[in-house]
Structure 1
Amino acid sequence: MLATTLLMTGCKDQAFVDINTDPDALTEVPPANQLLNAIINVHDRDFEAFYDNYQRIMPWMQYSTGLTGNGQNFTQVYDNFANRYGGLYTGVGNAVVDMEKLIEKLPAEEQLRYVHIIRMGRIVKAYYAFYVSDIYGSIPYTEAFQARYGGTLTPKYDTQQALFATLDQELKEAITVLKTTPSAPQITVGNLDQYFGGDAKKWVKGANALRLKIAMRMAKVDATKMRSIVQEVLASPADDLMSSNADGWVFVAPAAFNNGGNWSPAGLRASKPLVDFMWDTQDPRIDAFFTKNNYSQANIDLLIAANPRQLPVGTKEPARRYVGGFTSPDQSVNQQNVQRFYTPRILVTNGNRTSIDTLSYIQPRLFQAAYSVNGTVGTGRNYFPVITYADFCFMRAELSAQGITTENAKNWYEAGVTSSLDWYDILAKDAVLPEYTPMTEAEKAAYLAHPKVAFNAAKALDLIASQEYIHFLRQPTEGWATWKRTGFPNASSTLALPNLVSNGATLTVPRRAPLGIPAPTEPNYTNRKAAYDEMAKLPGFGTDPQDATGRVWWDRP
């Protein structure tokens, strides 16, 4: 792990900035290092963590709230939002293209040793292009990343429909090559591949899962194409598909990786809808997701002994110490709620003030393993999921529940729930979450049997989407996509998310990134404006490019 940390730091500090401005510097960088740079740039994004996830998507999706609840206009604030866009063009995409250009400079016989790593890089680039387009719509891709190699400085924009088709073909080609025995021994990738350690078979599984995910985005706009891709992927040999958590596409990094910057999740309140559901169903992930409030018996005794006394003699620690905050702004400012939930008791001991808080927080080390708890810096590991096995199972459960496949929806649903429980158990222990109790088989079985969790074909999509939503706490952008794709969770679903009401009016939750208005002085103004004008013709696009309540191509009513 130490070697990996040093390798990451060295690559980032020595070469990456230079090669984005000086193509000649590429000759000084081993080609395989650029795969590592691409992977790091997918995840080393603290502005995205803070502004996109903590401040926007998580509150919008009712995973969390601010300290005193959500602001009256919190769904209408987009400052610094959508940081992923720049990462494609200044990091991920460029690194992959640079790697291929470096390989092209090698002798022909040496190039034969790089056919696998080239496809690994292309899979990373395809994923990140999908990730960006997912909330932006049309983006430059087929003509992008080539400027310093004689390509255009003004690339055209690929429509989302065309891009998804291109990405699917690139993934298919990569899978084919990775499954074919190469004509020469391949270079040893090792720690330069922080996803799969150079294991071509696992890259095939990841690429197939990504094909499935992209296809499912097309369900409402091109059902025929979606079905074709789904059938093709699921007809693959079993060895080409994810079959356990060990196959998950996840970036695992030491605590130092995101220690500092904007990574801190401090102040993220747990949300009442999610906490209530998990408490009611006795979800064994609850202590991995949330902290207990401050009403331990020790603190209660101090409040009893305080002068003046703050609690009656004989007060006992409550059975439930997981308490979420209200997600609807009007509920947060209700005076009864303010008094009961948002007004902590204050202990003064030897001149030190301690706030005894009623509400829980998101477990901070779930998002930042180095987070300091009671003065102790965390030493665990960070998990950054791309596509987990649970995600793959839930996709197959959805497809079956919707009649797109003839697989057993119940089996895939239960496999998804179980693998999610197991995955968070691994993550919680590896991240060294405080006060975490490892799950037992009895707890997992009881959870699957709970009436709000047990599979029911009559409300299959509701149940599947609700469990996907819970699983995506560590990947809130996918929770957002699940809500847009399926309409779940909602105010009347199994896991109920209440309407967000501010000053008596129901707020509209954003559905895409606000698009900046192009200026005529921009070098690529013509292509950008043409792309936006074409997107404006899509159903539900919104009043203008900056209307984040509008929709991209795949997101239809």
Structure 2
Amino acid sequence: MKNLKYIIFSLAVCLASCEDIADLQKDPGAITRPSADLIFAGILLTSYDSPWSLDQRHNQFMTQNEAYYEGQPYGWTTGTYENIYTALRNVNQMEIEAEKMGDLGAQYKTMAKFFKAYFYSRATEMFGDIPMTEAMKGVSDQNFKPKYDSQKDIYIQVLKWLDEANAELPALIEKRVTIPNDFIYNGDLSKWQKLVNSYRLRTLISLSKRADDTPELNVKQQFATILSDPAKYPLILTNADNFQVIYNTFNTYPLWPSNGVVVKNDKRNTLAATYVNIAKSTKDPRLMVVALPAEALAKNTDVFARYGGGKTGDLQSTLLDQSSAGLLSMINFDFWETSAAGVPAIQLGAPEVNFVIAEAINRGWVPGNAADFYQKGIEESMKFYNIGAAAVTSFIAANPYPASAAQGLNKILEQKYMSFFENSGKQAFYDNRRTGVPAFDIGQSNANNNQIPVRWAYPTSEYTTNEVNLKAAIQAQFSGADTQNDTMWLIR
């Protein structure tokens, strides 16, 4: 009896205080069931591209002249899905959590449609065909080898998601629904609606080569529908609505030094000739804001002749010699590094949207005056750099919209390129890939057989985890080849 009492007492103590070792190994601070708003914030953190990156050197805005660092060789072969599909899994989880919230989760379900469109389009414009319809079925259906969807089908779905998101947002806006943890638009869904439609225009113009041969996309009709009803389809037409990242003392600007001491001299990173030469030939006042005169050229009477850009195709040793001799322009540190907040990083802005509309009018997709939107695109870009109104007027007068349609298109694309300086990720590269404007420099540094690549080969991990579906996709698109020089359907 005494032993039985001891056993019962020991059990009681154990039940009260003993824990399973698996429970003890759990991190008590870990978030295992994040709410939709926390997931949304995480998605935002993966949704933007930083300035001053290798992408921007491949856009031919800057050159890296020191051989210790990677230059601008265009030597990439394969790419990675990792960040994009991680973001898409988060979008999928946000939808799941939003569904549990009932009506209170409606805004997250709508935003999920935008972000699915956003991330799938980012993946397909890099690689070509990608997994989409089966991509998120690994956990739910135990399908870890998703089929690849054609690029055409992906864009049909992307445009559908964007249209649906726009249709759902007005009711949420009317109810004054907001989104906590939104560090882009501070929860203002009316600004998100402008982004949704502006992103749809970006997507449609990226399909310009398919506008006449793919009726399922209705590229021209969709574009015209959006422009014909600005109340239903509001757009980002002024900088106040830009989709941009504002840096601060916690999320510090990429150029800001860790010790807070700005050294206003960096001859390793100088402006590229592709950008500088356009600015000099058009006498663009933005050049004097973004860059410093080259030391050896600073005494020229023509202020624009004081600036020099390095050819992207030159060897890094050549560029370093030129920079050391004071022939190349560095960035204007007083503009770009005034504080840890630096300068906002635009992801999709008003200049781009105005130029996209101007291009669509020029191509005959929609009625209107392309010159008006061309001019508005220039004005919004120059406002971003705080260029005075008189200087803007003088620049537009000296660089009017040409009467010739072909010359007009070239001018639109050239000015759109100039507005992309150190923002909007790979968009300048994608526009060049689609249109050839501006002409990109190719030289001795090119590591791709004197070619600018047009895509990324599929991730090597796909060959071990999803080989059958991957090879079927490669065969369907490129007759079995998978290189950075194979032309995808989007730009064929």
* TM-score past 0.5 threshold: yes
Q: Confirm or deny: 8 A CA contact 1:38 1:96 kept in the other structure.
A: yes
Which residue does the alignment assign to 1:250?
A: 244
Matches for 1:83-122 after TM superposition, within 5 Å: 85-90=81-86, 92-106=87-101, 111-122=102-113
**CA apart distance, 1:359:** 1.8
Q: TM-score, normalised by structure 1?
A: 0.71
**CA apart distance, 1:506:** 8.3
Distance, in Å, in 1 between the alignment partners of 2:323 and 2:256 is 25
Distance, in Å, in 1 between the alignment partners of 2:300 and 2:363 is 49
For residues 26-48 of structure 1, give each alpha carbon's deviation from its aligned partner in whole angstroms, at most 9, with x where no partner exists.
664221111111011123x67xx
Give the 3-state SS of the residue equivalent to 2:486 in structure 1. coil
Tell whether 2:308 aligns with 1:323.
yes
Which residue does the alignment assign to 2:189?
A: 200
452, 457, 467: which one aligns with 1:514: 457
For residues 452-509 of structure 1, give each alpha carbon's deviation from its aligned partner in whole angstroms, at most 9, with x where no partner exists.
x21112110110010011111223511111112222112xxxxxx5554669x98211
Which residue does the alignment assign to 1:285?
A: 286
For residues 236-276 of structure 1, give each alpha carbon's deviation from its aligned partner in whole angstroms, at most 9, with x where no partner exists.
23463223222222232325425579999963220123223
CA 1:179 to 1:187, structure 2 compared with 1: closer, same or farther past 3 Å?
closer
Q: TM-score, normalised by structure 2?
A: 0.80
For residues 372-403 of structure 1, give each alpha carbon's deviation from its aligned partner in whole angstroms, at most 9, with x where no partner exists.
xxxxx832244232321111110110011111
Distance, in Å, in 2 between the alignment partners of 1:338 and 1:113 is 58
**CA apart distance, 1:64:** 1.9
Which residue does the alignment assign to 1:189?
A: 179
CA 1:182 to 1:465, structure 2 compared with 1: closer, same or farther past 3 Å?
closer
Distance, in Å, in 1 between the alignment partners of 2:219 and 2:117 is 18
Distance, in Å, in 1 between the alignment partners of 2:115 and 2:140 is 21
Give the 3-state SS of the residue equivalent to 1:554 in structure 2. helix
Q: Confirm or deny: 8 A CA contact 2:113 2:164 kept in the other structure.
A: no
Which residue does the alignment assign to 2:203?
A: 214
Give the 3-state SS of the residue equivalent to 2:245 in structure 1. strand
Q: Confirm or deny: 8 A CA contact 1:400 1:406 kept in the other structure.
A: yes
AA aligned to 1:268 is N
CA 1:290 to 1:145, structure 2 compared with 1: closer, same or farther past 3 Å?
farther
Give the 3-state SS of the residue equivalent to 2:426 in structure 1. helix
Specify every segment of 5 or more residues in structure 1 that has no aligned partner in the other structure, as ranges: 1-20, 298-314, 345-356, 372-376, 426-437, 491-496, 538-542
When Rg is computed on C-alpha atoms for both structures, the one with the higher figure is 2
Which residue does the alignment assign to 1:533?
A: 475
Distance, in Å, in 2 between the alignment partners of 1:262 and 1:514 is 34
Percent identity, aligned pairs only? 22
For residues 183-237 of structure 1, give each alpha carbon's deviation from its aligned partner in whole angstroms, at most 9, with x where no partner exists.
9x565424x2223222222222211111122122222124342112212222223
Specify every segment of 5 or more residues in structure 2 that has no aligned partner in the other structure, as ranges: 1-25, 259-264
Q: Confirm or deny: 8 A CA contact 1:64 1:362 kept in the other structure.
A: no
Which residue does the alignment assign to 1:445?
A: 393
41, 47, 58: which one aligns with 2:46: 41
Which residue does the alignment assign to 1:300?
A: none
Give the 3-state SS of the residue equivalent to 2:345 in structure 1. strand
CA 1:202 to 1:187, structure 2 compared with 1: closer, same or farther past 3 Å?
closer
RMSD in angstroms over aligned alpha carbons?
3.7
Give the 3-state SS of the residue equivalent to 2:210 in structure 1. coil
Tell whether 2:352 aligns with 1:391.
yes
Which residue does the alignment assign to 2:149?
A: 158
Q: Confirm or deny: 8 A CA contact 1:140 1:157 kept in the other structure.
A: yes
429, 435, 443: which one aligns with 1:480: 429
Matches for 1:2-13 after TM superposition, within 5 Å: none
For residues 30-85 of structure 1, give each alpha carbon's deviation from its aligned partner in whole angstroms, at most 9, with x where no partner exists.
21111111011123x67xx67xx42xx44444322222699999545217x745x3
Which residue does the alignment assign to 1:352?
A: none
AA aligned to 1:281 is T
Count matched residues.
Answer: 449
Which residue does the alignment assign to 1:9?
A: none
Which residue does the alignment assign to 1:5?
A: none
